[in-house]
Amino acid sequence: MSHTDLTAIVTGAASTRGIGRGTAHALAADGWNVSILDLDEGAAKETADEIASTHGVQAFGVACDVTDEASVEAALANLDSSAPPIGALVNNAGITSPTRFHDVTGAEWDRIFAVNVRGAYNITRRVTPGMAERGFGRVVFLSSVSAERGGGVFGGVAYSAAKAAQLGFARALAREVGPDGITVNSVAPGLIDTDITGGALEGDTKTQLVAGIPVGRNGRVADVADLITFLCREQTGYITGATYDVNGGSHIH
């Protein structure tokens, strides 16, 4: 079964300048049919239309709150009946939080974990059984350099802890589902120009941040999207449980 006969799901991919949307375009350019799952149904459908017309693949925009099991179930039931089988899942939906630890409320902590960790659990557990039955699957988690260096860029303790949880999730899952033809990897971007970071990257702040990056620039969405697309290919079957850093050398470990 070729990936051109399969669908790649990208969660949280409707944001105009986000990594998710860039990844959805890159996967479609590589021949995947693509499903955009996002809280904003209108934006998800608009993104899907743009992808279908640009790349000539099937694309689906579906409303989904990854933190809500019933919403995930409804979104995937919709795809089961309308889209080719799911061959790849990119767990991109996430929220950041710069709040200092002593100021983080329990509600904020739970929200960060609900989207980044429980959300990934809700959807991953729903799609991997079908991948195992077909003997092929690719799962990629969007973690963060914050998980590895302990915050210090935009993410505080809650965000760093949640993004580190994703790394452990991916590694353990990789061991379990490897025999079924499913690989599970993580990508840990550094400073990428997106809607989340855009406003904060101006003037002196940007100059200081870029000064600490060996390649001399901040990252672009394509830098991350191209790597995720590589990890989702059929040929990339002997890489699993790995974490790929995409940070221009700002964190070398």
Which residues participate in catalysis according to the annotation? 159
Query: In sequence order, what are the residues at sequence separation of 6 or more whose Cβ sits closer than 8 angstroms to the Cβ of residue 10?
Result: 20, 21, 23, 24, 27, 34, 35, 36, 37, 90, 92
Element (H, E) at 77: helix 69-82
Answer left, alpha or beta for residue 88, where phi above 0 means left and psi between -120 and 50 means alpha: beta
Cα distance between residue 102 and residue 72, in whole Å: 33
How are strands ordered across the β-sheet holding 7-11? 59-63, 33-38, 7-11, 86-91, 137-142, 182-189, 243-246
